[in-house]
Amino acid sequence: MELVLEILKAIAYGIIEGITEWLPVSSTGHMILAEQVLKFNLSDEFMEMFRVVIQLGAIMAVVVLYFRKLWPFCGDNGRDSGFARHFKWPTVRLWCKILVASVPAAVLGLLFDDWLDEHLYNSVVVAIMLIVYGVAFLLIERRPRVPKTTKLSRITYGQALAVGLWQVLAMIPGTSRSGATIVGGMLCGMSRPCVSQFTFFLAIPVMAGASGLKLVKFFVKGGSLGINEITVLALGCLVAFAVSILAIRFLMNYVKKHTFTAFGWYRIALGFVVLGIWAAQTFLLA
């Protein structure tokens, strides 16, 4: 019976991760709310790792949906000669820009991952960042603008680096990785569909690296995985994968016709909910 409950919780977490990882609403903020209700009977060390590694399922959704755009290799097309004929060079250039955008988060993540978890993973920080970026979405969408970059192939290395620097801000819990990169990309002149898709692709190296780092730290610190932990982790990733496919398709269709204003208001409302829960637990239930 206990394992059945853990499985149901893993499914719920997978649904939350699959939706909130790609929509600019902060998966961390939703995880904090979920943890108020759905507490696993597992160690704190496992849960710290689980929150990050469950993202692997979401990453695989991007790979499956956009495999043709992301796969840089091709067969002999009969026109080019030598080594060059085996590559789709527009895709190679796109990957170069993705890697450039990944560098800031990779460097600072290695340096400050533990410090950030220890000092900033709390309800107050998450609530503040939810509200701040919610307001940012509202302000950006109110400003008249004509995007300069509407296609992935037109993204410059300067824009890619700028989006990567904005992504660093997502290391602060509650910011939302997709939220930070979308705000940064729009300020750099990218259209909503263009920056949304670039954000999906940028997640692959960044989230894979973060998941790998958490796994290594978990085992280095003496962590181990029993049947319950393996079941919860595998099921969470599988559900996150399936739900992510739906969430990504929804967002790409949504941004073709709508602004991010609704997400801005949602973030603000969620921020006040998280802040209210923290205040109730701190001052009323203490």
pLDDT tens, residue by residue, 91-131: 999 999 999 999 998 888 878 877 877 778 888 898 999 99
Tokens 């073709």 -> residue:
256
| Average pLDDT score, the chain | 88
User: What is residue 88's predicted lDDT score, i.e. its pLDDT?
Assistant: 87
How many CB atoms within 10 Å of residue 257?
7
pTM: 0.85
Q: Are the C-beta atoms of 257 and 67 separated by less than 8 Å?
A: no
3-state SS assignment for residue 38: coil
Whether residue 210 contacts residue 55, with contact meaning beta carbons closer than 8 Å, is answered with: yes
Q: What is the mean pLDDT of residues 253-258?
A: 90
Q: Which of 75-79, 81-85, 133-137, 272-276 has the lowest mean pLDDT?
A: 75-79
**How much is the average pLDDT of 243-252?**
95
Structural domains of the chain, count: 1
Half-sphere exposure of 106 (CA within 13 A, CB side): 15
Please state which of the ranges 65-79, 140-154, 215-229, 233-247 shows the lowest mean pLDDT.
65-79
| Residue 233 CB partners (closer than 8 Å, separation 6+) | 10, 50, 53, 54, 225
CA dihedral of residues 67, 70, 76, 82 (deg, nearest 10): -160
DSSP β-bridge partners for residue 190: 149
Q: Is it the case that residue 192 has pLDDT exceeding 60? A: yes
171 has a pLDDT exceeding 60: yes
In this predicted structure, the answer to whether residue 81 has a pLDDT above a threshold of 60 is: no
pLDDT of residue 83: 59
Question: What does the pLDDT read at residue 243?
Answer: 97
User: Alpha-carbon torsion 219, 223, 227, 231, what sign?
Assistant: negative
User: Which pLDDT score is estimated for 43?
Assistant: 86
Residue 78 has a pLDDT of 47
What one-character-per-residue DSSP string does 112-174 give?
A: HHHHHHHHH-SHHHHHHHHHHHHHHHHHHHHS----SB-SGGG--HHHHHHHHHHHHGGGSTT
Q: Which domain holds residue 241?
A: 2-284
pLDDT greater at residue 199 or residue 85: 199
pLDDT at 213: 86
Mean pLDDT of 162-170: 92
d(CA 72, CA 93): 9
Give yes or no for residue 82 having a pLDDT over 60. Answer: no
Kind and range of the H or E element at 286? none
Q: Of 270, 284, 220, 283, which Cα lies nearest the Cα of 32?
A: 270
pLDDT at 286: 59
